[in-house]
Structure formats: C-alpha cells, structure tokens
Amino acid sequence: MKEPYITTAIPYVNGKPHLGHAMDYLLADTLRRYMMYCGKKVRLQAGTDEHGNKIFKKAAEQGVDIQDFVDQNALKFQDFIHSLGVEYTDFIRTTDPDHERRCQAIWEKLSDHIYKDKYEGWYCEGCEGYVTDKEYEDNHGECPDHKKPYIKLSEENYYLRISDFKERIREAIETDELKITPVFRKKEFLNLLKDMPDVSISRPKEQVEWGIPVPGDDSQVMYVWIDALSNYITILGYPDKDISDYWPAHTQIVGKDILRFHAGIWPAMLLGLDLPLSHNLLAHGFVTVNGEKMSKSIGNVVDPVEILDKHGLTPFRYFFLRHASTTDDADFTWDKYEASYNELANDLGNLVQRLATLCKKNSISGQKVEKRENPDFDARMEKYEFNFAFDILWEGIAELNKRIDAEKPWALAKTDPEKAKEVLTKLVVDLLAINDRLAIFLPDTAKQIADVFTATEIQPPATPLFPKN
Ligand code: MSP
C-alpha cells in the first residue's frame, strides 16, 4: 500500500451542486488533512455521475445537448469543490472514454455472476433504483427521499447474482473487515442485507439510451449504479493497471441514503472481481434546512454559494464541521449560522486580535510551531467523530482565553515586564500548537494565524479575522 485512498460519492449532474453535496467533500477533506498531518500522502478521488435517465431528461427539458449539459454541470461541481477549500488528487467523470471502456471490461470480468431475466418491481426514478415489496409497503408507495410514488417497471434485464456473495459480505461487515460507521447504520444495513435480492444491472436501451452499452448486447445499457460504483477503481486505472498501491480504499465516504449500494452491490462487484473490500465505509447524515429534508427533486434547496458569500469559507467549514455531527443529520438555519459565526469571532477572532496586540506592545517575537501529542484528539479522529475532535481544539481555545483573563499580561507589563513576556510567549506557543491541528478543519484561517504568530515581529491582522456584522 503506497498511499491511503479516500473516495467520495460522485453526484448526479442533473443540476448544480446543493448544500447536501458539501458534506461528502468536507468530511473527505478533513480526513485527508488529518492523515497528512500524521505524515501520510493521501489520494482523494472526486467526480461526477453523468449517465442515466434523470440526467438525460433534464438536458432534454432544457433543450440542451446532453454532452454540453453534463460538461457544464461537471465544471460547476469542480468549482464548487474548490470553493470549499477541498483538494482532490483525481477527478473522474463517468462519461470519460477511459472510464466507459474500463467499465465494460469490469462487466466482462463479472460475467460468471451475471444472468438475464425478466423482472417486475417497484422503482424510484429519483433513486434510480428498485425497492423491495416490503420497503414499498413500509413507505406507503412513495419514496421518502424524493416524495415521488414508486412506479411499476417490468423489464428484461441482466442481473448480478448477489446471492453468490451475500454470506461473505455479511461476514465482512459483521467482523468489521468492511467497517461501517456509525454502528447503527451497520445494523440497519445488516437487516436489509437479509432480504437483498439479486440486482438488475442493465436497462433496455429503448428506455435509457444515455449509458454505457452492455458488452455484446446492443439492446441494453448498464444500470447507472454499476457504472457509477466502478468509478472508484477505474480512476485508479483498473483493469489496465495494477491498483494494489491504492486499493482497498482506506475510507469510502457516502451519504446515508446510498450506503446500501456501497455496502451491498459494491462489495459484491469487488468480490466478483477478486478484489479486496474497502476497509471503511463512513455514512454521514443529511443536511436539513429549518428541520426539513432538502432534495433536488423536492426543490427546497439552499444554495451553498449564498452561505459561502455571507461570511466566506472559514465560517462555512466551522459550522458544518463543528456544529454538524459527522454521522447524524444536521440542521441549517440562518439563525444557527449567525450564532456559529459570532462564536467563531468571539472565541477565536478575538483571541488572535487580543493576543497579537499584546505581543506587539510587549515586543514578543514569533515562535516555532510545536507538534504535540493528543491521544484524545486522535481517538476521535480515528473513530470519524470529527466534530468531537474539533470540540477538543475549541476547549483549548477557550482555555487560552481564560488564561489571558486570569493572568492579565497587560497589568503584568506594568509591574513585572519579564513575567508578562514569559506569559505571552507561552500563550503564543500554546496557540500555535492548537492551530497546527486547527489547519485540519480551517486551513485558511490556520495559515493566517500561523503567519501572525511565527513572524519575526508579531503584528495583529490589519482587519479582524471575523469582522462583526
Ligand atoms: N450519483 C449517486 C452517487 C454515486 S456514488 C458511486 C448519488 N448522487 S447524489 O447527487 O444524489 O448524491 C451525492 C452525495 O450527496 C451522496 O453522498 C448523498 O448522500 C449526498 N447528499 C445528497 N443530499 C444530501 C443532503 N441533503 N445532505 C447530506 N448529503 C446529501 O447519490
């Protein structure tokens, strides 16, 4: 294994990015920065899922050529990822010719586990997926994510024989060989796995023409999920290249709604290809807005660009990484966002301004960054409890604020200047030690703070880091 490999779900490009999409990227970026902090080089994939009816219909509705449509939207996603301060090493588009060709090779390699059959069942166009009769009944005939009635589809399709791998998948999940976080989702999935039928992995071309052709059968195209899931390895070059330097992935990050594809179909594909299963599957919760589910299909989406424009990137990352749990749903409201911004300004912004001003007055020079151990922080990060790890850093920041208040270096400067210098220098060293890990969450701000407190002469920032509204 050369470099740990982290993957993100590849969003459908039937529209522009929405707030929910930010979660995958922020979590992946945080994990990547943490691993890099621990001295590792990391490969991080991102990309776009560009085939399927949903996208084809959207382009037709807008009267745009399908290729132009996906090209434009793929660019919007790349811009969006950059605007979140997220750095990926690889970007895959499922319409890349290399991906399409490799996907066909994957299909051929899976042929021992593929058969043709007629199928009739309930299908959600929003999910691009069938549901079991039980799910249909439990949800009263309507997809809870897309608020659309399931439709009955009857097709002659190719199937992947999930039953060939079910027991092996169950065992891998139960023993944490394929570790699903959080545990309640692992349990939920193991329940679902019991009734998981073989999956249909193709669609008749007359129904879906925007897809990768099934090798050797012109009448069928690949089911979009087979095409999409393959991205995680086609981007590494599979099957043309040996991917063992990167695969199995260290962590695959997905939203809770698509865990079942990643814990069921994907492991079946990997086993069919004789490839090892990923080590970790992290399923994050959903971002809701004012307590309501947000989805492209429902249309109640908040534009993340509007939030980014309000106070810039750091407050955005602060809110979604500290005040959103890594694994549960997180609610966004403008009130909560403003409160989070004020907290950032009061706790961190003021500390930097105050301490730098005192340092300047007392001619304290910049200090070196000390790497410090913090097993509690590491334990939280390793369990993917990023928001709790972030809390640990914030406790450190609160501590520094308390120390300034208690030790009153401005008063000491009058009575015991040497002691004042000692107190301030120690505060700077301690802040820099915290800031070193703050860079995992808030890279831009951490860089500004490091610049201030490692400079030959400490100067407060010309404008406060987080100006008051
Ligand atoms: N194209 C598939 C993924 C294929 S991966 C091989 C897909 N696309 S999506 O655009 O619907 O979702 C992309 C990611 O965004 C998924 O991880 C999904 O869970 C996540 N989210 C979509 N809406 C979300 C929220 N409201 N909140 C948090 N994450 C959400 O599924």
Task: Spell out the alpha helix ranges (H) of 323-439.
Answer: 334-343, 350-361, 375-382, 386-407, 409-415, 417-438
Identified catalytic residue from 109, 256, 293, 361 = 293
Is 103 within 8 Å of 50 (Cβ atoms)? Answer: no
Name the residue of 23, 86, 253, 295 to mutate for ligand 1: max ligand atoms within 8 A of Cβ: 23
* Residue range 211-270, pLDDT digits in tens: 999 999 999 999 999 999 999 999 999 999 999 999 999 999 999 999 999 999 999 999
In this prediction, residues 73-94 reach a mean pLDDT of 98
Paired tokens of 43: 């490969």
Output the pLDDT for position 156: 87
Q: How far is CA 10 from the centre of its chain?
A: 10
- Asked if 146 is an active-site residue, the reply is yes
* Residue range 362-382, pLDDT digits in tens: 999 999 999 999 999 999 999
Residue 297 reports pLDDT greater than 70 = no
When mean pLDDT is compared across 53-57, 68-72, 433-437, the lowest value belongs to 53-57
In this prediction, residues 454-461 reach a mean pLDDT of 96
Paired tokens of 449: 């703070």
Q: Give CA torsion, residues 305, 310, 316, 322, to 10 deg.
A: -140
| Mean pLDDT rounded to a whole number for the chain | 95
What strands, in cross-sheet order, belong to the sheet with 213-214? 202-204, 217-222, 213-214
Architecture of domain 334-453: Orthogonal Bundle (1.10)
* Residue range 84-102, pLDDT digits in tens: 999 999 999 999 999 999 9
- Asked if 38 is an active-site residue, the reply is no
Paired tokens of 162: 């999930």
Identified catalytic residue from 51, 54, 143, 250 = 143
CA 395–ligand 1 middle distance (angstroms):
33
User: How far is it, in rounded angstroms, from Cα 419 to Cα 434?
Assistant: 23
Q: Checking phi first, is residue 387 left (phi over 0); if not, alpha (psi -120 to 50) or beta?
A: alpha
∠ Cα 220 221 225 (to 5°): 135
Residue 296 reports pLDDT greater than 70 = no
Instruction: Please report which helix (H) or strand (E) contains residue 93, including its range.
Output: strand 90-93
In this prediction, residues 54-58 reach a mean pLDDT of 92
Name the residue of 7, 12, 252, 257 to mutate for ligand 1: max ligand atoms within 8 A of Cβ: 257
- Asked if 51 is an active-site residue, the reply is no
- Asked if 359 is an active-site residue, the reply is no
Q: What pTM, to 2 d.p., does this model score?
A: 0.93
